[in-house]
């Protein structure tokens, strides 16, 4: 392991200019993960009923602080999704180095460990910067922290690179570096996918665990959280299933070259779209449900004679901060989608170069790239919107029965879908470089 770490350090120092943007994104992801985790620890370290002059008393009660901690921890999901995408594209960009290590006698497992350690080094730099920024902000707040809490802070800073390395090793488990100078992915034996059942089981355990841990709090949204988590995982499974179905059907009936190429990729690897869109679909369910719940709560809060002005500030501040958290999660997920699209191009650059050399126009390849995102994402986003609306209607029926449901949440899936297409389009400038004839030298 020590020799692997030394090789990873040498390879990181020798990265060229094209790789430093990936290293920078990995460091930024680690910085965000460290910041969210440290903030969660800082809030959880406060005990009992206190008076904190921030967010109109949102952190004063233990139950309310538990909700804040839960929100901060949920923000780690899109962050680690971004880190996994950075790891995947890093493995493809360094295929010649990995092939050189294989020629020198390294095993496939050792090559994967070295790639994971490279990512953990970038994460260590990002987590260190995040810790410094957090320490400055905490010192500026004027609040004292116990030595035990500082020990937990340091453990969090060290845990982020470790978790990132584990995520990297899991992401690269099917990547095999060949000593002949190329990287291929080994697909599992075809059969009935068990991914959906495993994810639903994990989500059910997580939802029940959250209800048990936070059962003493007065958070009305706990059942909503459990429902959103289960619906999000079901939507994730539906994304892979719909991609497989569309790939088979469109391969048989498509007449457009772009649709035919995109359908072939969906048919060969339908769960790739599900992996890339996982965080986005969960954020879509949360966003649709939140917008609906927010409208219901605001209608109840502005009912004359129900709440004093100071209590209105308390509730509206909580809603605004929750909306900001959803927006941050969406932005991180869109960044992960853009990186995942670039990783898809980098993985298939030799095939794309061969298609371009055979006479396939650049415009057709560009439309193919967008269709690979648009086709599997459309039914998944639609299902996520339906699930979020179900949460909204269920909450409205329990809190304000007889009121007409809001139609504003229906705009969320449309906005998310358009944003996803824009995020995928950011990789179009990279397409021309990936289809350059020089890529055929290494096929």
Q: For the chain, which residues make up each domain, given as ranges?
A: 1-186, 193-443
Can you give the pLDDT at residue 414? 93
Query: Three-class SS of residue 176?
Result: strand
Q: 73-85 burial, b if ≥16 CB within 10 A, otherwise e?
A: ebbbbbbbbbbbb
Tens place of pLDDT for every residue, the chain, 443 residues?
Answer: 677 777 777 777 666 666 777 788 888 888 999 999 998 888 888 877 766 666 666 777 777 777 788 888 888 888 888 887 777 665 555 666 666 777 777 777 777 777 777 778 888 889 999 999 988 888 877 777 788 888 999 999 998 888 877 877 776 665 555 555 444 444 444 444 444 455 455 555 555 555 554 444 444 455 556 666 677 677 777 777 778 888 888 888 878 888 888 888 888 777 776 667 778 888 888 888 888 888 888 887 776 655 555 567 777 888 888 889 899 999 998 988 888 888 778 777 778 888 888 888 888 888 988 888 888 888 888 888 888 888 888 878 877 777 777 888 889 999 999 999 999 898 888 888 878 777 666 54
What residues have CB less than 8 Å from 368, skipping those under 6 apart? 258, 261, 262
Distance CA 348, CA 14 (A): 25
Can you give the pLDDT at residue 217? 45
Distance CA 425, CA 436 (A): 19
Distance CA 357, CA 160 (A): 44
């Amino acid at each position: 392991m020590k020799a692997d770490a030394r090789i990873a350090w040498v390879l990181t120092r020798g990265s060229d200019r094209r790789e430093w943007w990936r290293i920078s994104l990995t460091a930024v992801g680690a910085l965000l993960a460290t910041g969210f985790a440290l903030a969660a620890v800082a809030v959880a370290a406060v005990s009992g009923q206190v008076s904190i002059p921030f967010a109109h008393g949102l952190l004063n009660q233990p139950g309310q602080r538990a909700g804040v901690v839960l929100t901060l921890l949920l923000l780690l999901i899109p962050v680690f999704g971004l880190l996994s995408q950075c790891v995947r594209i890093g493995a493809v960009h360094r295929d010649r180095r990995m092939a050189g290590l294989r020629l020198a006698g390294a095993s496939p497992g050792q090559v994967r460990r070295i790639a994971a350690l490279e990512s953990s080094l970038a994460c260590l730099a990002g987590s260190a910067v995040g810790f410094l920024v957090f320490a400055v902000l905490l010192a500026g707040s004027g609040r004292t922290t116990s030595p035990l809490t500082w020990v937990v802070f340091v453990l969090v800073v060290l845990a982020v690179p470790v978790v990132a390395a584990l995520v990297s090793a899991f992401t690269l488990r099917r990547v095999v570096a060949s000593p002949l100078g190329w990287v291929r992915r080994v697909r599992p034996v075809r059969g009935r996918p068990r991914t959906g059942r495993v994810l639903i089981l994990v989500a059910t355990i997580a939802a029940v665990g959250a209800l048990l841990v936070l059962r003493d709090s007065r958070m009305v949204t706990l059942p909503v959280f459990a429902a959103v988590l289960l619906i999000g995982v079901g939507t994730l499974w539906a994304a892979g299933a719909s991609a497989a179905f569309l790939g088979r059907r469109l391969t048989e009936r498509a007449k457009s070259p772009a649709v035919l190429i995109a359908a072939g990729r969906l048919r060969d690897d339908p769960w790739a779209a599900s992996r890339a869109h996982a965080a986005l679909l969960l954020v879509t369910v949360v966003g649709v449900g939140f917008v609906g719940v927010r409208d219901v709560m605001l209608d109840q809060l502005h009912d004359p004679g129900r709440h004093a002005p100071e209590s209105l500030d308390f509730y509206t501040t909580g809603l605004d901060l929750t909306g900001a958290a959803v927006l941050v999660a969406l932005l991180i997920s869109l960044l992960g989608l853009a990186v995942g699209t670039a990783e898809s191009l980098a993985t298939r650059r030799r095939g794309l170069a061969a298609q371009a050399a055979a006479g396939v126009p650049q415009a057709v390849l560009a439309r193919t790239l967008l269709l690979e995102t648009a086709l599997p994402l459309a039914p998944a986003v639609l299902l996520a919107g339906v699930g979020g609306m179900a949460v909204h209607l269920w909450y409205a029926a329990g809190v304000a029965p007889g009121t007409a449901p809001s139609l504003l949440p229906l705009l969320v899936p449309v906005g998310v879908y358009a944003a996803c297409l824009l995020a995928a389009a950011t990789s179009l400038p990279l397409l021309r470089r990936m289809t350059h004839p020089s890529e055929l030298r290494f096929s």
